[in-house]
Amino acid sequence: MDSIVRGVVWRPRPFSLDDEQEEGAVAVPQYVFADLVRESCTATGTGPLVLGGALPGHRRFADAVPVGASFCYAVAGITDPAQWENGIGQIDGQGRLVRLTISASSAGGARVDFAAGLKSVALTVGANWFAEASVPPEIGEVTGLQAALNGKQAAGNYALSAHSHVLGDVTGLQAALDSRQPVSTGHGSATLIDAADQITVRRGSGWVNVPGSAVLARDANGNVALGTGGAAAQSRIDVQSAAGIWHQIRLSAGQPSSACYMGAVNMAVGSWMFDAAYYGTSLQWMPVHTVASGIRMVAGEVLLCGNSGLTVGALYVPTTLMAAGAASVRPGTDNVRSLGTAGARWTQLFAATGTIATSDRETKRDIEAIPDDWLDAWSGVDWRRFRFVDGQRWHTGLVAQEVHEAFARLGLDATGIGLICIDEDGEGGRIWGLRYNECFAIEAAWQRRELARVHAAIQAPRRRRHAVRAKRDSAAGTETGA
């Protein structure tokens, strides 16, 4: 029976010399394979696992694997990474993963008793399948091979002594060897290669001599360089990859600074990929001229720099993306970059105190009271309890779409007010978010207005009673005067 694997037909049968298009085929287990099949799962226990739907960018098992077909699977715990299982399984009529054979698991090769929590279930290629598929066939399994070998002459046993010759028997061999460089350990010794030395190397079918200065240079002061850059008061390794462009590791002991350089350097303009230099009493990473991206250390701060900037005199000053010092970690430019994105979020922020938002009057314009129609719209927003799709705990808060709908019912755009954010998630989708500090502010304003209305309603009868009493007292005074 043929087994189809993503359009490839596997025929698990013995190899035959008569096969032409399938020469070398071996029997392999009949498992179904398919690309990008992965689902979430929160099921528990050792029995069949109920699958919870395809993960982003993947397909469901029910859409890719026929019911009852065997395949290799892998279960990886996300809530509990210590629980995992690989094996052979099938999808039953209810769309569940039936675990037939366990190849390996966190339970010592037994079925894992999965605990509650999120898990990833994927269709994969098991190591056991590779092991079975790579077993070579025996001679008897290759149809016709044994019959073809029968009656053939066995390999002979040829003695080396029967074919020995002396050098003189081979015309010209001794003369050719005499002209070659001898291989010997009896020569004199030296500790370093001098520039005037000649090093013999093989090139093509012949030999050439390379001067020692091309491999190592040493000046009168003992400075040494590997390569052809020259010592020049420093030790370095140079490799030239293009005209004027060198890749170097340089240790410099020059004054007024000492430095270590690593990376590509253009000798014409003096640009480095990375360099560490000791200036006075501080260690500084100082990329110069055209190459600037990387990590710099200046004045006690570690700077993450971008590949852009400006040249100040002879020194190139790169753009600082982020700086970390003894007292703070800060962006290189004020109010330009966010921490995370809608599609790449931090899980949690731990801090000793709350965030501080700029509220300086000098930074604001159009300062006025919150309109009643905003507060009227907010009265249609309900606080909710909920659980996240991939979480277990209950939470309280708001739903961004409900806030948008409450304002839209009164013809207002909540995104224009600043309550709601709708951002791209980086995978073609959108994520709705809320600025909770704005939501709390408008909630407080709505409650203040409602309390004022309740207070006014409570005070209204009292004011009416006072007005009636004042009117009656005024009438009584008029009669007495008459």
Integer angstrom CA distances of residue 300 from 222, 323, 324: 34, 10, 9
Of the candidates 386, 388, 397, the one whose C-alpha atom is nearest the C-alpha of residue 443 is: 397
Q: How many angstroms separate the CA atoms of 182 and 320, rounded?
A: 60
Residue 346 has a pLDDT of 82
The arithmetic mean of pLDDT across residues 39-61, rounded, is 92
Of the candidates 55, 62, 133, 125, the one whose C-alpha atom is nearest the C-alpha of residue 98 is: 62
Residue 227 has a pLDDT of 55
* Confidence check: pLDDT of 205 > 70: yes
* Type of residue numbered 51: L
* Confidence check: pLDDT of 217 > 80: no
Of the candidates 72, 198, 83, the one whose C-alpha atom is nearest the C-alpha of residue 128 is: 72
Indicate the range of 70-79, 206-215, 405-414 predicted with least confidence: 206-215
Residue 18 pLDDT class (50, 70, 90 cuts):
very low
Residue 188 pLDDT class (50, 70, 90 cuts):
confident
- What stretches of 102-253 show up as alpha helix (H) in DSSP? 127-133, 145-149, 173-178
Residue 162 pLDDT class (50, 70, 90 cuts):
low
- Helix, strand, coil fractions of the chain, as percent rounded to 5: 20, 30, 45
Integer angstrom CA distances of residue 158 from 155, 162, 164, 340: 9, 8, 12, 75
Residue 376 has a pLDDT of 95
Residue 428 has a pLDDT of 87
Residue 76 has a pLDDT of 92
Residue 347 pLDDT class (50, 70, 90 cuts):
confident
Residue 161 has a pLDDT of 52
Residue 333 has a pLDDT of 75
Cβ partners under 8 Å of residue 386, min gap 6: 394, 395, 396, 397, 399
Q: How many angstroms separate the CA atoms of 304 and 36, rounded?
A: 37
Residue 353 has a pLDDT of 84
Residue 133 has a pLDDT of 62
Q: What is the pLDDT of residues 73-101, one digit of tens each?
A: 999 999 999 999 999 999 998 999 999 99
Residue 73 has a pLDDT of 94
Beta-strand runs (E) in 344-428: 384-386, 395-397, 420-424
The arithmetic mean of pLDDT across residues 221-226, rounded, is 59
Q: Which two tokens stand for residue 34?
A: 């398919």
Residue 200 pLDDT class (50, 70, 90 cuts):
confident
Q: What is the pLDDT of residues 262-286, one digit of tens each?
A: 555 444 444 444 444 444 444 444 4
DSSP-assigned beta bridge partners for residue 98: 90
Of the candidates 141, 143, 136, the one whose C-alpha atom is nearest the C-alpha of residue 17 is: 143
Q: Which two tokens stand for residue 471?
A: 């009117």
Residue 251 has a pLDDT of 55
The residue among 105 and 129 whose pLDDT is bigger is: 105
Domains and CATH numbers, the chain: 3-137 (no CATH), 192-272 (no CATH), 366-482 (1.10.10.10)
Residue 305 has a pLDDT of 65
Residue 439 has a pLDDT of 93
**Which SS3 state, helix, strand or coil, does residue 194 take?**
coil
* Confidence check: pLDDT of 159 > 80: no
Residue 47 has a pLDDT of 93
Count how many Cα atoms sit within 13 Å of the Cα of residue 94 in the half-sphere of its side chain: 8
Q: How many angstroms separate the CA atoms of 295 and 298, rounded?
A: 10
* Confidence check: pLDDT of 403 > 50: yes
Ranked by mean pLDDT, the top range of 27-31, 92-96, 136-140 is 92-96
Compute the mean pLDDT over every residue in the chain, rounded to the nearest whole number: 74
**Could you count the other beta carbons within 10 Å of the beta carbon of residue 274?**
17
DSSP-assigned beta bridge partners for residue 131: none
Residue 141 has a pLDDT of 60
* Confidence check: pLDDT of 452 > 70: yes
Residue 25 has a pLDDT of 45
Residue 165 has a pLDDT of 58
State CA 270 to chain mean position distance. Answer: 34
Ranked by mean pLDDT, the top range of 111-115, 224-228, 308-312, 325-329 is 111-115
The residue among 138 and 398 whose pLDDT is bigger is: 398
* Confidence check: pLDDT of 210 > 70: yes
Residue 339 pLDDT class (50, 70, 90 cuts):
confident
Residue 447 has a pLDDT of 95
* Confidence check: pLDDT of 168 > 70: no
pTM: 0.40
